[in-house]
């Protein structure tokens, strides 16, 4: 599911799959060939080489998943790994606003920041296939929710030719995984290599790379403001940007954002930076406050990468990166 679904699958207890053009997947005969025929007939822009892969995952979603099986859902919008248990058969919600009408009910057992898992486990769940069996690191995910062997312990079906992606799909997946691995690496380095106060100085340094003049406030008595940034050298000309920095990967609730807003005076703006995500109330607050901007973990990594060549040697040593080019087939 794409990042646009926000918290809805977690809050409403489901996972879903798209392909709105196919309608109710339960109406397709329980046969892989029938799913291939339906795809070719209803989805005009699907590549012929990708049809077996897509048909296979749709078939498994409807007919192979059983109640009691465990699901691992990495949500893109907040960098959380959600682990739950399927509780019901497939249902169909034609009016789903996210265009994922075919869904399965889930009882969520736990929600964890990506930093709590090994990088190899994160790489495995970053597969290019929408639905797949976790083969190598299943025990790591099950342990997070205090479970032993998976309830469904049938031998994993060997990968077949139909499971293999076409070249373009596989290439695009590798590019996405490279981006995801970089974000995981950067955030992990910050979490392990900086204290909270050092992170404040790092945020200030990135803002300086962007052209601001900054100063970091004292450790105590800052009233919720860690960094003050402005465009002129003396800090007299508006806008003045007050920054709150949180070196954490958990979700930031609205009351903490409200605290930053309460410090703003005339001609001042608020910038809240964390390495995780924000609760829905905080996001709605940002939409209604022109003076407020929220930067989450993914956006902060983007800011860092855009200004990486301007970082001081100290920070480049802490977060060593090199520039590479990866294929971009998203618009082809």
Which residues of the chain are in CATH 3.10.590 domains?
3-165
Interhelix angle 51-63/32-42, nearest 10 degrees: 120
Q: Are 248 and 239 in contact (CB under 8 A)?
A: no
Residue 145 has pLDDT above 70, yes or no: yes
Q: Name residues whose C-beta falls within 8 Å of residue 137's C-beta, 6 or more positions apart in sequence.
A: 117, 118, 120, 121, 124, 125
Mean pLDDT of 86-92: 87
**Could you tell me which residues are beta bridge partners of residue 278?**
252
Question: What is the model's pTM?
Answer: 0.70
Q: How confident is the model at residue 43 (pLDDT cuts 50, 70, 90)?
A: confident
Q: Tell me what pLDDT residue 157 has.
A: 37
Mean pLDDT of 118-129: 77
Which residues of the chain are in CATH 3.40.1350.10 domains?
195-318
Residue 103 has pLDDT above 60, yes or no: yes
Q: Tell me what pLDDT residue 152 has.
A: 45
Q: Which top CATH class is 3-165? A: alpha beta
Domain 195-318 belongs to what topology? Trna Endonuclease; Chain: A, domain 1 (3.40.1350)
Mean pLDDT of 218-241: 79
pLDDT tens-digit readout, 280-323: 899 999 999 999 999 999 999 999 999 999 999 999 999 999 88
> Percent of the chain having pLDDT more than 90?
45
Mean pLDDT value across the chain: 84
> Percent of the chain having pLDDT more than 70?
84
In terms of C-beta distances under 8 Å and separation of at least 24 residues, what long-range contacts does 236-241 make, across chains too? Answer: 238/267, 238/268, 239/267, 239/268, 239/269, 240/267, 240/268, 240/269, 241/207, 241/212, 241/268, 241/269, 241/270, 241/271
């Amino acid at each position: 599911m794409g990042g646009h679904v926000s918290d809805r699958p977690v809050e409403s207890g489901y996972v879903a799959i798209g392909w709105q053009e196919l309608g109710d997947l339960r109406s397709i005969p329980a046969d892989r060939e029938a799913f291939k025929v339906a795809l070719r007939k209803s989805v005009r822009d699907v590549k012929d080489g990708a049809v077996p892969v897509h048909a296979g995952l749709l078939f498994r979603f409807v007919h192979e998943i059983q109640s009691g099986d465990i699901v691992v859902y990495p949500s893109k919008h907040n960098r959380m790994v959600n682990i739950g248990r399927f509780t019901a058969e497939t249902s169909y919600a034609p009016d789903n606003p996210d265009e994922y009408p075919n869904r399965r009910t889930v009882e969520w057992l736990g929600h964890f920041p990506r930093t709590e898992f090994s990088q190899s486990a994160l790489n495995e769940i970053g597969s290019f296939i929408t639905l797949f069996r976790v083969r190598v690191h299943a025990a790591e995910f099950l342990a997070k929710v205090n479970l032993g062997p998976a309830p469904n312990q049938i031998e994993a079906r060997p990968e077949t030719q139909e499971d293999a992606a076409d070249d373009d799909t596989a290439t695009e997946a590798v590019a996405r995984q490279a981006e995801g691995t970089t974000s995981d690496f950067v955030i992990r380095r910050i979490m392990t290599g900086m204290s909270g106060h050092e992170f404040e100085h790092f945020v200030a340094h990135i803002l300086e790379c962007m052209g601001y003049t900054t100063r970091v406030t004292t450790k105590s008595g800052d009233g919720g403001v860690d960094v003050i940034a402005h465009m002129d050298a003396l800090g007299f000309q508006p806008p003045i940007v007050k920054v709150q920095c949180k070196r954490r990967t958990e979700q930031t609730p609205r009351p903490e954002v409200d605290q930053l807003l309460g410090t703003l005076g005339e001609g001042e703006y608020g910038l809240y930076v964390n390495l995780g995500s924000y609760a829905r109330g905080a996001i709605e607050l940002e939409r209604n406050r022109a003076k407020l901007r929220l930067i989450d973990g993914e956006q902060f990594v983007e800011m860092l990468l855009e200004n990486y060549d301007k970082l001081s040697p100290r920070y480049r040593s802490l977060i060593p990166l090199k520039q590479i080019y990866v294929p971009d087939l998203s618009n082809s």
